[in-house]
Structure formats: C-alpha cells, structure tokens
Amino acid sequence: MRKRLTATEYIEGILAFDISILSRAITLVESRLTSDRLLAKEILQALLPHTGKSLRVGITGVPGVGKSTFIESFGSFLIEKVQKKVAVLAIDPSSQRSGGSILGDKTRMQVLSQNPNAYIRPSAAGDSLGGVSNKTRETLLLCEAAGFEVILIETVGVGQSETAVKEMSDFFLLLMLAGAGDELQGIKRGIMEMADLVVINKADGENQLRAEQARADYARALHLFPPHQGSWIPEALTCSALEKSNLESIWQHIQNYQTLTQNNGFWHINRQNQNLQWFKATINEELQRHFYQNESIRNSLEIVEEQVRAGKTPPMLAAETLLRKYFE
C-alpha cells in the first residue's frame, strides 16, 4: 500500500508536471470511495485556476478506421513539430458492460506512450455514460493543470459516447474510410453533423485515389448541413496515419478554427454552454447515484425489476412507486 498523499502534495505534484502524481489523482477522480471523491474535489478546486487553457480535440470513428494509429502519428507530430505537450484520453463505451474493450488494449500507441511529453489514459468504465464523461472532464482538467496543451479525447463511433466527447471538445474530428461504392452509406448522419473536420484515413498505396474521391464526396455532403454556429465551414481532408501524411494540414485546419472562433466569440460561448451542460449532467448523475444507493430502493429494486420484466407491473407504474418510496 502506497502512502496516501495530502491534497497539497497532489496539487504541487500536478503543477510540477509529475506524471505519476497526475495518474494517482486521476485514480482518485475515478474512485467510488467517498473519501477519495472528497479529496479529488479538493484537488480539483485548487487547480481550477490552472485549467481551461488547452485545446481540446475530440476524435471519433468506427473501430478499425485507424484512431490509435492516427493519434500515435498526430500526437507525435504535435510534440515534435509544434512543441506541444499532448494528453490522450480514451473513452471506451464497450468496457462499461462487458468488461471487454475496443480501445483499452496495451499495444495501442506504443511510441507515443514512451514520449515524456505525452500522457495516455483510458477512461475507466463507469455505471453510465454520464458517469464516464463527468470523470473524463475532471481528468481533462487535471491534465490541463499539469500543463498539457493539447488534449485528444478519443472515442469509438458507436452508441452515444461521441455526443459526450463532442460536449467536452473545442474541435471535433471524424475519421472515416473510403468505402466501396456509395461513399456516404452507413454513416450516422448525426455524427457527420457534429464534425468540424472529416478526415479520410488510409489515403495511401492503392487506396489513395478512392480516398480522394471519398474526400470530395464528403466535402459536398458537409456543405449540405445547416451552417455551423461558429461560422466555421467544415471540410474534408485525406491523410495516412500510417505514412504520417497530411498531418500538417490537419493541424493547420484546427488552428484556423481556433483563430476564427476565438475572434468571433464562439469558442468562449461553446465553453460556457459546455460548462452549463456539465453542471446539469453532474446534478443528474448525483441524483441517480443517491437514488440507487438509497437503502429502501436497493431493497426493493430487484423485485420490482423482476415484476416489470415478467409483465406483472407496468414500467411507468413501477417507476412511480419506487420514486414515491424514495421521496418519502
């Protein structure tokens, strides 16, 4: 058992870019123990003035599109060519239920994980996506306080995790592949609409031409969406994460976005709205936690669930009964 650090030791360690202390602080944030949560709150509170200065980039795409390869290449590019410190947070929705993971295996981003200016952290599985994303936001703040200048928040383009990531990013990048035939098939429209930039990955070798064709198709499709709130015009680019091509151009796009939206105020408004969402999400999460921890709810939940499953009690009525019990 390691010695428990004091809040001051955590705070000073994080501000001094001590990655092992940062890691331990994130573990506190993820903990379910009340004493850990209280300590985490104290640390976060003290570090708040040191947060908010990073560029938060959300990255999504289906499994196999090349997210980890891209982050490995792009992260290394940012560190070496742009002299940024880069943190990578990975939200893996699949690990919540099954314990298995799409993102979490250790072989991912081996080069980047060795770099002293990089930090890679999978977001722990929680009870709910809300729980995961609140913890991810707190983790993001800790990384910012430590001095990471670009935070890449990665998620698999399945379920609702990309919405959660969008809600904590300044810029949202969608990785895609050139498909066979109809390039626009099978894309969740909602995700495309969230993207500030679409990048067609694996534009190398024989795939290069198809990737360029797909790029043109996506670029056209992007123009059909309602105008971006920040007056930004999302575009489509190609890249090869494997050959590290076009990373410069992607970075240029992100910088253009930052300049434009910081000048027209959208950057700030977006962060304000995100804070409001976070505030509401925290209330929802705490209420839920409180509800499910309630002794009398815990005692009857299983029975009521069984009655609902068996069709003996209508779901609405069952929920109402439990809620009444809770509020008594």
Using the rule CB under 6 A, is 161 a contact of ligand GDP?
Answer: no
Pick one of 242, 260, 297, 308: the residue that binds ligand GDP (CB under 6 A): 242
The least CB distance from residue 98 to ligand GDP, in Å, is 16
Using the rule CB under 6 A, is 201 a contact of ligand GDP?
Answer: yes
CA distance 21 to 110: 21
Helix orientation angle between 295-309 and 266-293, rounded to the nearest 10 degrees: 90
CA distance 301 to 304: 5
Contacts of 153 (CB under 8 A, 6+ apart): 56, 57, 58, 59, 88, 89, 90, 91, 136, 140, 165, 168, 169
User: Which of the stretches 64-72, 133-141, 220-228, 307-315 binds ligand GDP when contact is defined by CB under 6 A?
Assistant: 64-72
Using the rule CB under 6 A, is 202 a contact of ligand GDP?
Answer: yes
Q: Cite the DSSP H helix spans in the chain.
A: 7-15, 19-30, 34-47, 67-80, 94-97, 110-114, 129-146, 161-166, 189-194, 208-223, 247-264, 266-293, 295-309, 315-327
Q: What b-and-e string marks burial along 111-127, b requiring 16 or more CB atoms within 10 Å of the CB?
A: ebeebebbbbbbbbbbe
Question: Would you give the binding string for ligand GDP spanning residues 23-52, x where CB under 6 A is met?
Answer: ------------------------------
Q: Whose Cβ is closer to ligand GDP: residue 61's or residue 131's?
A: 61
User: Which of the stretches 60-68, 88-96, 161-169, 278-286 binds ligand GDP when contact is defined by CB under 6 A?
Assistant: 60-68
Q: Whose Cβ is closer to ligand GDP: residue 112's or residue 124's?
A: 112
Determine how β-strand 118-123 pairs with β-strand 86-91: parallel
Using the rule CB under 6 A, is 61 a contact of ligand GDP?
Answer: yes
The least CB distance from residue 323 to ligand GDP, in Å, is 41
Q: Whose Cβ is closer to ligand GDP: residue 69's or residue 261's?
A: 69
The least CB distance from residue 68 to ligand GDP, in Å, is 4
Using the rule CB under 6 A, is 68 a contact of ligand GDP?
Answer: yes
**In the sheet where 150-156 sits, what is the strand order?**
118-123, 86-91, 150-156, 55-61, 171-176, 197-200, 235-238
Using the rule CB under 6 A, is 241 a contact of ligand GDP?
Answer: yes
Q: Whose Cβ is closer to ligand GDP: residue 62's or residue 125's?
A: 62
Q: Whose Cβ is closer to ligand GDP: residue 136's or residue 246's?
A: 246
Pick one of 65, 153, 168, 250: the residue that binds ligand GDP (CB under 6 A): 65
Place of tokens 């499709």: 221
Pick one of 69, 133, 161, 246: the residue that binds ligand GDP (CB under 6 A): 69
Q: Is the dihedral of CA 92, 94, 100, 101 positive or negative?
A: negative
Give the residue closest to ligand GDP by C-beta.
Answer: 66
Using the rule CB under 6 A, is 204 a contact of ligand GDP?
Answer: yes
Q: Which tokens sit at 143?
A: 């990384």
Q: Whose Cβ is closer to ligand GDP: residue 66's or residue 234's?
A: 66
Q: Which tokens sit at 233?
A: 């015009």
Using the rule CB under 6 A, is 67 a contact of ligand GDP?
Answer: yes
* C-alpha closest to that of 254 among 149, 157, 177: 149
Q: Are 54 and 148 in contact (CB under 8 A)?
A: yes
The least CB distance from residue 106 to ligand GDP, in Å, is 13
DSSP 228: P
User: Which of the stretches 121-129, 132-140, 198-206, 304-312 binds ligand GDP when contact is defined by CB under 6 A?
Assistant: 198-206
Q: Which tokens sit at 114?
A: 């060795």
Q: Which residues bind ligand GDP (CB under 6 A)?
A: 61, 63-69, 201-202, 204, 240-242
